[in-house]
Structure 1
Amino acid sequence: MRVAMIGSGYVGLVSGACFADFGHDVVCVDKDPSKIERLNNGIMPIYEPGLEQLVTGNARAGRLTFTTDLAEGIKGAEAVFIAVGTPSRRGDGHADLSYVHAAAKEIAEALEGYTVIVNKSTVPVGTGDEVERIIREANPQADFAVVSNPEFLREGAAIGDFKRPDRIVIGTQDDRAKAVMTELYRPLFLNQSPLLFMGRRSAEITKYAANAFLATKITFINEMADLCEAVGGNVQDVARGIGLDNRIGGKFLNAGPGYGGSCFPKDTLALVKTAQDAGSPVRIVETVAAVNEDRKRAMAQKVIALAGGDVRGKVVAILGLTFKPNTDDMRDSPAIPIIEVLQAAGAIIRAHDPEGETQARLVLTNVEYCANPWDALTDADVAALVTEWDAFRALDLDRIKAVMKTPAMADLRNVYRPEEMARRGITYVGIGR
């Protein structure tokens, strides 16, 4: 099949490369000429394990191409995906749909023959209706269907998630569109991935509901961690104790500094706003979003307390800046408010992240970026492990004690064992234990 992917960001590039790997003929379209030039030269705009090899391999095979010309890109395409950004709108928290609407109008003007327009962007309920209206208004003679096909990709594991999905949600009641989408995803049938057809609005809600539920699990275990600290429990034992209940499950029950990234913060906020507008408020999700924001700043206070209650003029070594490992994504990373609170308290920040420095420089100022963890730790007064990169999981504890001015670590991901840190003479605090 011939597929056009409008938007070559995280979702569009991963999805386009995976479809090409299935054998489809894919064109990725983006308005940024420099991004397209880099992609044509095999340079990835994002860090995602395995993506560079997937993109360059399919580009060499002729199945994956890149262009800034949307009309040329969608020529002959049976399915045209909208995979543009939907950031939170400034001022009110609603999803900004301007890029989606602009893409819909431009697609309408270039349509030829029956085409399935697939909304892959994360959008509020009813957006598919608006996309359909825009296209019909711009091109009344067009023969098309608008489908919702939300993505459920985890950054750092996106290729595996795309090729071995738990489910594929497709929102349409158009039989021709169902046939196109079934053929598009046919290569996954050997994996018995369930194709779930439903109404378009139900599909749009499913995406937000899934992210809100996972954000709720994270926030719940974080509050249990606070309770464990207050009464002498161990949140890791609690997480195992409840996670082995198959009604609950153990995923997303790792206590930490709060969720971040490109999805959970903006999607929970957009769901809250959509529900408020519909007169059906989602009070649990409202609380989840508020508690999560408070938690990130509270983690900075944990670091300050470990430093004796005052970090003015002291060096704080930050290990990990991205919101999770195996990505360079800094969007809503807990590291940002943690560092900002520490800086406001007078701390000197030295930081290392295996992939996030370039993006971090865009959102953080007055930070000394280090080439490795040891440069950050040397002569530091206190350290904070913020992101659980593999490179931080087996640091030489004796060397930590030797190089730090005062060996003290706030482990915000519970990577290390308290008893082992105590045995090595390192003052240590974790989360919920």
Structure 2
Amino acid sequence: MIGGGYVGLVSAACFAEFGNDVAVVEIDPDRLAALRDGRIPIYEPGLDTLVADNSRAGRLSFGADIAEAVTGAEAIFIAVGTPPRNGDGQADLTYVHQAARQIARAMGGHAVIVTKSTVPVGTSRRIAEIVREERPDLDFDVASNPEFLREGSAIGDFMRPDRVIVGVDENAPDGGARTRGVLGALYRPLSLIEAPVLFVKLETAELTKYASNSFLAMKISFINEMADLCDRVGADVHDLARGMGLDGRIGRKFLHPGPGYGGSCFPKDTLALTRIAQEAGAPTRLIEATVAVNDARKIAMAGRIAAACGGSVRGKRVAVLGLTFKPETDDMREAPSIPILVRLAEQGAQIRAFDPVGMPVARPLLPPGLTYCDSALDAAQDADVLLVLTEWNEFRALPPTQLAATMRGRVVVDLRNIFDPAAMKAAGFAYQSLGRP
């Protein structure tokens, strides 16, 4: 597994749990030292135990030497970063191409080189070209095996997936038979529990990841716009979402209103898909609109908060519950909290924030004047307004009466709809949520 980041580490630990011998290559010395020492550099529930158990069993190892790791390997996964390229938003494949060259120089016998990173269409075939440039006589195959891991539930997603997508080079001399054999054996534990393992063309596999994430992002933006419409006409967005979700053609998931999507995948992948489509001459207007709607929504949320405070937050003490883009992760990438809190700070708000795990990551990304608190109630102490940005379960359990006794003001802006409107009203709050009367 080339890359010990989020995708690489979770995948490696889960493959080892299947009973395979997995060597993880990580060139960042601090991250490598942490992994060797049993310290997990990312927050993912259950991952520390999984890594420890399989390391102790001798199935999972960590190192910096690619040559040592690939010796005797049947499958070599590339799981390095593909950040948005400056200027156009397309995925930057620098690290993928570097890994391909290093793998080619280090390989001995036959192996399948598998792209686990999220990459544009055509990347797997470009990897094959790079390997042939480095080693014209090398016996190898390429495959695409995109990940579909949700932060906070990645282990369950890997062990009990909706599907596994494997892209195979149908132009290979054997039609991809060796690739199917190697990866079919690797994923056999999932086949035994009847998880679908779909073998498709390379290009189809590469596009499936982008298409899936973009469609989910589009569902989120749709329900966010419906929440705004519900606010205007007096409807309830949760009842609306239930009424829609019970239609099997639509489904219940990802119909939860919020301040906009964030994280490591949706913002990056939607933007990348629009660039892929534009370059192919088949622009994706729906996804382009989704990107625009999401960017505008994050900015609009700061205005909604100011309006709830009478038109201005200047001098107001604002308690913030949650900073990460979603619960059960410390990931701050593209988190709605960043643009929202930057604007509130610029407008003169005094911000006191609490997040169960995200504050160390959030500090360098948020305005320097923020105060980071020890608990939700600490953040709420003497606050004029309470703002909910992440739906951590511990926030749902806060009694409205206790919040009322702690706060100075009575304004609550709940951008995750975690509180009961009737209970908040009974506690004396001027309570605002998204799309609910």
User: Do they superpose with TM above 0.5?
Assistant: yes
Q: 2:122 aligns with which of 123, 126, 136?
A: 126
Structure 1 residue 163 corresponds to structure 2 residue 166: no
Structure 1 residue 75 corresponds to structure 2 residue 79: no
Aligned to 1:268: 270
Q: For each residue in 1:79-130, what CA deviation from the matched residue of structure 2 results, as whole angstroms up to 9, or x when unmatched?
A: 0000001011111111111010110010010011110000000001011111
Structure 1 residue 403 corresponds to structure 2 residue 406: yes
1:315 and 1:96 map into 2 onto residues whose CA distance is 41
Letter of the 1:248 partner, please give it.
I
Aligned to 1:277: 279
Aligned to 2:92: 96
Structure 1 residue 369 corresponds to structure 2 residue 372: yes
Q: Give the match's secondary structure for 2:364.
A: coil
Q: Give the match's secondary structure for 2:109.
A: coil
Report which stretch shifted further, 200-209 or 306-315: 306-315
Q: Is contact 1:393–1:416 with CA below 8 Å preserved after alignment?
A: yes
1:75 and 1:427 map into 2 onto residues whose CA distance is 64
Aligned to 2:173: none
Structure 1 residue 261: Cα displacement = 0.3
Aligned to 2:17: 21
Letter of the 1:48 partner, please give it.
E
Q: Give the match's secondary structure for 2:98.
A: helix
1:350 and 1:49 map into 2 onto residues whose CA distance is 26
Shift >4 Å, 4+ stretches: none
2:377 and 2:64 map into 1 onto residues whose CA distance is 43
Q: Is contact 1:320–1:386 with CA below 8 Å preserved after alignment?
A: yes
Aligned to 2:306: 304
Q: Give the match's secondary structure for 1:362.
A: helix
Q: For each residue in 1:356-386, what CA deviation from the matched residue of structure 2 results, as whole angstroms up to 9, or x when unmatched?
A: 0111012112211111111110011111100
Report matched runs for 1:27-426 at 5 Å. Answer: 27-172=23-168, 173=170, 174-366=176-368, 367-426=370-429
Letter of the 1:428 partner, please give it.
Y
1:365 and 1:68 map into 2 onto residues whose CA distance is 36
Q: Give the match's secondary structure for 1:410.
A: strand
Structure 1 residue 407: Cα displacement = 2.1
Structure 1 residue 175: Cα displacement = 0.7
1:347 and 1:218 map into 2 onto residues whose CA distance is 29
Structure 1 residue 420: Cα displacement = 1.0
Structure 1 residue 10: Cα displacement = 0.4
1:324 and 1:305 map into 2 onto residues whose CA distance is 25
Q: Is contact 1:166–1:194 with CA below 8 Å preserved after alignment?
A: yes
Q: Is contact 1:147–1:177 with CA below 8 Å preserved after alignment?
A: yes
Letter of the 1:264 partner, please give it.
F
Aligned to 1:429: 432
Q: Is contact 2:417–2:434 with CA below 8 Å preserved after alignment?
A: yes
2:387 and 2:9 map into 1 onto residues whose CA distance is 33
Q: Percent identity?
A: 58
| RMSD of aligned residue pairs (Cα, Å) | 0.7
Structure 1 residue 345: Cα displacement = 1.1
1:116 and 1:61 map into 2 onto residues whose CA distance is 25
Structure 1 residue 312: Cα displacement = 0.8
Q: Is contact 2:260–2:298 with CA below 8 Å preserved after alignment?
A: yes
Q: Is contact 1:315–1:381 with CA below 8 Å preserved after alignment?
A: yes
Structure 1 residue 406: Cα displacement = 0.3
Structure 1 residue 352: Cα displacement = 0.4
Q: Give the match's secondary structure for 1:123.
A: coil
Q: Is contact 2:78–2:99 with CA below 8 Å preserved after alignment?
A: yes
2:253 and 2:266 map into 1 onto residues whose CA distance is 15
TM-score (norm 2): 0.97
Q: Is contact 2:128–2:142 with CA below 8 Å preserved after alignment?
A: yes
2:162 and 2:236 map into 1 onto residues whose CA distance is 31
2:407 and 2:86 map into 1 onto residues whose CA distance is 42
Q: Gaps (5+ residues) in structure 1?
A: none
Q: For each residue in 1:270-310, what CA deviation from the matched residue of structure 2 results, as whole angstroms up to 9, or x when unmatched?
A: 00011111111000000000000110111111111111111
Q: Give the match's secondary structure for 1:165.
A: coil
Letter of the 2:267 partner, please give it.
P
Q: Give the match's secondary structure for 1:6.
A: coil
Q: Is contact 2:345–2:367 with CA below 8 Å preserved after alignment?
A: no
Q: For each residue in 1:208-261, what CA deviation from the matched residue of structure 2 results, as whole angstroms up to 9, or x when unmatched?
A: 000000000000000000100011111001000000001100000001111100
1:166 and 1:10 map into 2 onto residues whose CA distance is 20
Q: Give the match's secondary structure for 1:42.
A: coil
Structure 1 residue 193: Cα displacement = 0.7
1:154 and 1:319 map into 2 onto residues whose CA distance is 22
Letter of the 2:15 partner, please give it.
F
Letter of the 2:150 partner, please give it.
R
1:107 and 1:354 map into 2 onto residues whose CA distance is 40
1:310 and 1:166 map into 2 onto residues whose CA distance is 46
